[in-house]
Chain A
């Protein structure tokens, strides 16, 4: 087992153990020698839907989140609650390419690098407190 495999397993464990996640499905999981990718879909405890994908690389032996896209929607997948992503389509924002769509595709705010593990904690805070 390499570091990438262990990290992707850690993500699965976080989804399994999180009270904010009711069910999940791993759509894609790729592991290479020094990088890896995971894409999951989850039903959240309030009935909302999450599609999350993270690409990690090993840089000097350290795991780094290179790219990500986390889309949180209502249960019918019609209303965008929030999307965090690193697509370079908003280059003029501070801290680009990291940005966040809030409530609408066109409502964009600066973001920061976010791992899938960070996201699970963030969602727990938002969903379980509301």
Chain B
């Protein structure tokens, strides 16, 4: 199923809820779906954090410091640094998603 089709489904639900719709079954189902995604992302994040810690220990550099230098073109293009860069990007994507999923206040 394409992203736009799913986004349209979510928009339809949002319209219903904004119009005052309320159904305990659907409420619970939506909470469960969000909790499921949070659990998946948390598991992925833990694995990524463990791999990042290995690189930090191996090279005596925090991932934040590495990322700044890598993006500034100050690190060699080795296989290890490519992989470290990928892990930094993975962490950014997962934490950004978790920030949205864990948000209770829609205006936060």
Contacts and interface: CB of A to CB of B under 8 A. Distances in A.
Interface of B is mostly: helix
Given A60-B3, A66-B89, A37 B83 contact: yes
A7 interface: no
Contacts of B71: 88
Contacts, number: 69
B45 to A, nearest CB: 9
Interface stretch (A9-17, A18-26, A27-35, A118-126): A27-35
A67 B44 contact: no
Give the interface residue-count category, chain A: 20 to 34
Contacts of B51: 30
Interface string B82-99: 110110011001100100
Given A53-B79, A89-B76, A32 B94 contact: yes
A39 B79 contact: yes
Contacts of B77: 69, 83, 85, 87, 89
Given A57-B93, A66-B89, A90-B73, A85 B37 contact: no
Given A60-B3, A61-B2, A35 B90 contact: yes
Interface residues of B, number: 29
Given A53-B82, A89-B74, 15 more contacts: A28-B83, A30-B51, A33-B40, A33-B94, A34-B97, A35-B90, A37-B90, A61-B3, A67-B89, A69-B77, A83-B77, A87-B70, A87-B77, A88-B71, A89-B77
Interface of A: 28, 30, 32-35, 37, 39, 51, 53, 55, 57, 60-61, 66-67, 69, 71, 83, 85, 87-91
